[in-house]
């Protein structure tokens, strides 16, 4: 990314396609831990990790950033959208657990090719009225992700927004972050997507959908 960035690239334009799904309630963390591939209970408060939701056959349905915002709240940042469908499918497994799933149309995700003001590594920073700030870059390619109310991040014009979205997706590829279009969902194992490098799954935490396939691939080298 050149040093002379366009103004739109440092002004936190919205990231089209990114959607947010929250899990809230006394069982939210336990439910997320049982459904997703990462070790959610080991994640400290106000920290985030890469995670995934897998099918019973160990194929990846969604890859996302999982934020632990409180003892009773987890937030998923879905770069490839489809939050409504994922929430609907997850709801089938709630049963009697005290957890509420909510897709957040009141919040948006925005980004900038600049270093974070306060967030660092996996630690989440509170960004005043703008919600939360995450460090999603490196020294060579700094990037900041912010989550906040709709009114805090004005929509970009069509041309500028498209250019920014393309640059952000290209940066994802440079960082080796998997992006799954609809045709690529439920096709790949976490290992094929490089989620081991992102610590996006656990082979120690116990059962979750697809865990047997993940562990067999990890320890035996075959599914």
Q: Could you tell me the CATH number of the domain that includes residue 194?
A: 3.30.1360.120
Cβ proximity of 125 and 118 under 8 Å = yes
Strands (E) in 25-106, as ranges, are 47-54, 60-70, 73-78, 100-103
Cβ proximity of 39 and 33 under 8 Å = yes
β-pairing, 47-54 with 100-103? unpaired
222 is a domain residue:
no
Which of 115, 149, 152, 132 lies closest to 46 in space, CA to CA? Answer: 132
From residue 209, give the alpha-carbon distance in Å to each of 34, 37, 59, 61, 213: 8, 8, 9, 11, 9
15 is a domain residue:
yes
218 is a domain residue:
no
C-alpha 117: how far from chain center: 20
**Helix (H) or strand (E) run with residue 83 in it:** helix 83-91
pLDDT reported for residue 4 = 57
Count of CB atoms situated within 10 Å of the CB of 125: 17
pLDDT reported for residue 16 = 86
Range of the domain at 19: 7-213
221 is a domain residue:
no
Could you state, in chain order, the average pLDDT of each consecutive group of 10 residues for the chain (223 residues)? 59 90 98 98 98 96 97 97 96 96 95 95 87 96 94 72 90 94 92 94 93 88 66
223 is a domain residue:
no
Number of structural domains the chain divides into: 1
19 is a domain residue:
yes
58 is a domain residue:
yes
């Amino acid at each position: 990314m050149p040093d002379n960035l366009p103004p739109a690239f440092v002004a936190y334009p919205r990231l089209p396609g990114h959607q947010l799904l929250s899990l809230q309630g006394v069982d939210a963390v336990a439910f997320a831990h049982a459904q997703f591939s990462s070790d959610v209970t080991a994640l400290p408060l106000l920290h985030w990790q890469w995670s995934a939701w897998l099918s019973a056959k160990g194929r990846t349905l969604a890859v996302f950033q999982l934020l632990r915002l409180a003892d009773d709240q987890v937030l998923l940042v879905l770069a490839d959208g489809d939050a409504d469908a994922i929430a609907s499918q997850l709801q089938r497994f709630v049963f009697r657990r005290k957890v509420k799933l909510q897709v957040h149309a009141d919040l948006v995700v925005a980004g900038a090719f600049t270093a974070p003001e306060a967030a660092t590594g996996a630690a989440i920073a509170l960004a005043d009225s703008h919600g939360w700030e995450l460090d999603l870059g490196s020294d060579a390619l700094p990037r900041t992700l912010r989550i906040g109310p709709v009114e805090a991040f004005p929509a970009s014009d069509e041309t500028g927004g498209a250019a920014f979205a393309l640059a952000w997706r290209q940066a994802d590829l440079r960082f080796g972050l998997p992006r799954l279009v609809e045709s690529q969902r439920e096709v790949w194992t976490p290992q094929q997507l490089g989620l081991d490098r992102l610590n996006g799954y656990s082979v120690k935490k116990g059962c979750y959908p697809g865990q047997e396939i993940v562990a067999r691939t990890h320890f035996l080298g075959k599914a």
